[in-house]
Amino acid sequence: MRALILTNEFPPHVYGGAGVHVDYLTRELRKLIDVEVRSFAGQPADEGGWRVRAYEPSHDIGAAEPKLKGLWATLSRDIGFVADSVDADVVHCHTWYTHLAGMLARLAYGIPLVITVHSLEPLRPWKREQLGGGYDVSTWIERTALEMADAVIAVSGDTREDVLRLFDIQPDRVQVIHNGIDTTEYAPTSETSTLERYGIDPHRPFVLFVGRVTRQKGIIHLVRAIPQLDPQLGVVLAAGQPDTPEIAAEMEAGVAEARRQHANVTWIPEMLDLASKVQLYSHAAAFCCPSVYEPFGIINLEAMACGCPVVASRVGGIPEVVVDGKTGVLVPLQLGTDEPMAPADAADYERALAEAINALVADSARGSAMGEAGRQRAVAEFSWSSIAARTVDLYRSLPAVTDRSDG
C-alpha cells in the first residue's frame, strides 16, 4: 500500500491543528505502509518507503491583487503536486489548499481520493475579510472536492453532521476518525524556563490561551473578558500569526485596553515550540479555548495531556474531547455559524467565559481533579497509532476509481 499525502503544512512549518495532525499521522502511517508527502514547505526526505517533497509556486504572481496572491500561489503548487508523476494507491488531502491537486490526481491517475475535513469553508465566513473573492474560490474548490471524494474523514461526529448537512455526499462515504495526541511528548513537566523567559510568575495562578490570532479561535472574546477576571489571576496569551492586519490591530487594541483594567496580562505574540507550550500547559491553572468554530480542537487535547483543566466553548467537536464537569467546563455559545455573533450575545458569552474561569481557578482541588482526569482521557482515548491503523483500513477498503461507480 502506497499513500500520497498532500498538505499545506508540514514540519518544520506547522502553524495550526491540521499541520499537527498530518505530522503525527504520517509518523504512524509510515510504520504501516509506504508514504509520500507533498507539501508547501516541508523538510525534504527520501528513504525506504518514506518521501517528503516541498513545492514552490511555479507561476509569476507578482502582479496579482494582494488578497488573491495566496490563492494563486496555492493553485500553482497544486499543479506542481500532480505534474510530477504519481505512483500511489490512494491520494489523501488535508485542507482545501490541496483539494484541486487531489481531484486532478483522482481523475488523471485513477486512484481513490480521501479528504480529511479539519474545517469547512462555509462555516468560516470571516475568511472573506482575509481573502476577498478568493473565499468564493476556496469554497467552490472544497465543495467540488468533497462531493467527488471516495471517502471523507471527519475529525468529529459534529463535523460529520456538518459535512452531510452542507454537501451532497452519501453518508456511507463519511467516517469519523478523531485527531490524536502523543502523550509522551505532551506530558506534565516541572520545568519553568519558558515562564522565566517571559516573566511569568509560576507561583501565581494563570489562565492560558495558545493559538493563532484569528476569528475562528475567538481570542478577541477572551481578551474582552479579561477585565472581568479575578485581579489576582494571571493571563498568558501565547497568540501569534494574525490572519489579517485588521485583526492584528484589533488584538493590539484589545490587549492594551485589558492591561488598563487588569494588572497581570502577558502576551507572547509568536507561535511557540512544543517544549515551551508543554511548560505553559503544565503550570497553567486553566487553559481557555474560546473558539467560535472548532471541528475538533486539538489544543484542548494538548492541555489535557499536560494535566491542565480546560474552559472551552460548547461548539463543534469540543464536547467530544472535553467532558463537561470532569475534564473541564464547557461554556454555551449563542452563535449562528453562518453570521457574526451579535454584540449582546458576545457580551453574554464573554461574561460567562470569565465566570467559568474564575470559578474553576478559585477551586484548586476541583481544577487538579479535572487535570488528572483530562490526562487519563488523553492517554486512554486518543492514541495516534490506533488512528493510523483505522486510516489504513479505510485506504484498503477503497477500490480503484476505474473499478467503481460513483453512483
Residues 149 and 204 in one domain: no
Residues 147 and 214 in one domain: no
Domain for residue 319, yes or no?
A: yes
Residues 32 and 82 in one domain: yes
Residues 108 and 199 in one domain: no
Confidence of residue 345 (pLDDT cuts 50, 70, 90): confident
CB 311 within 8 A of CB 286: yes
Q: Which residues contact 315 (CB under 8 A, 6 or more apart)?
A: 291, 292, 293, 294, 333, 335
Domain for residue 186, yes or no?
A: no
Domain for residue 281, yes or no?
A: yes
Residues 370 and 389 in one domain: no
Domain for residue 39, yes or no?
A: yes
pLDDT at site 131: 84
The whole-angstrom separation of Cα 352 and Cα 9 is: 35
Confidence of residue 337 (pLDDT cuts 50, 70, 90): very low
Q: How many domains does the chain have?
A: 2
Residues 356 and 284 in one domain: yes
pLDDT at site 407: 43
| C-alpha separations of 176 from 145, 157, 221 in Å | 18, 6, 30
pLDDT at site 344: 77
Residues 169 and 228 in one domain: no
Nearest to 80 by CA among 60, 56, 107, 47: 56
The whole-angstrom separation of Cα 137 and Cα 139 is: 5
Confidence of residue 220 (pLDDT cuts 50, 70, 90): very high
pLDDT at 260 over 90: yes
Mind listing the pLDDT tens digit for each residue in 282-331?
999 999 999 998 888 889 999 999 999 999 999 989 999 999 999 999 99
Residues 329 and 287 in one domain: yes
Mind listing the pLDDT tens digit for each residue in 94-145?
999 999 999 999 999 999 999 999 999 998 887 888 788 999 999 999 999 9
**C-alpha cell recorded at residue 69:** 496572491
Which residue segment(s) compose the domain that 106 sits in? Answer: 2-180+383-403
Domain for residue 356, yes or no?
A: yes
Backbone φ and ψ for 182, nearest 5 degrees, come out as -90, 105
Q: Are strands 50-54 and 45-47 parallel, antiparallel or unpaired?
A: antiparallel
Average pLDDT of the chain? Answer: 93
Q: Omega of the bond prior to 44 within 30 degrees of 0, cis?
A: no
The CATH number of the domain where 83 resides is what?
3.40.50.2000
Residues 212 and 356 in one domain: yes
Residues 51 and 167 in one domain: yes
Domain for residue 188, yes or no?
A: no
The whole-angstrom separation of Cα 222 and Cα 318 is: 17
Domain for residue 247, yes or no?
A: yes
Q: What is the pTM of this model?
A: 0.79
Mind listing the pLDDT tens digit for each residue in 53-108?
999 999 999 999 988 999 999 999 999 999 999 999 999 999 999 999 999 999 99
Residues 89 and 127 in one domain: yes
Confidence of residue 402 (pLDDT cuts 50, 70, 90): low
pLDDT at site 403: 53
The whole-angstrom separation of Cα 403 and Cα 37 is: 25
Backbone φ and ψ for 120, nearest 5 degrees, come out as -130, 130
Domain for residue 187, yes or no?
A: no
The whole-angstrom separation of Cα 147 and Cα 174 is: 11
Confidence of residue 269 (pLDDT cuts 50, 70, 90): very high
Residues 104 and 26 in one domain: yes
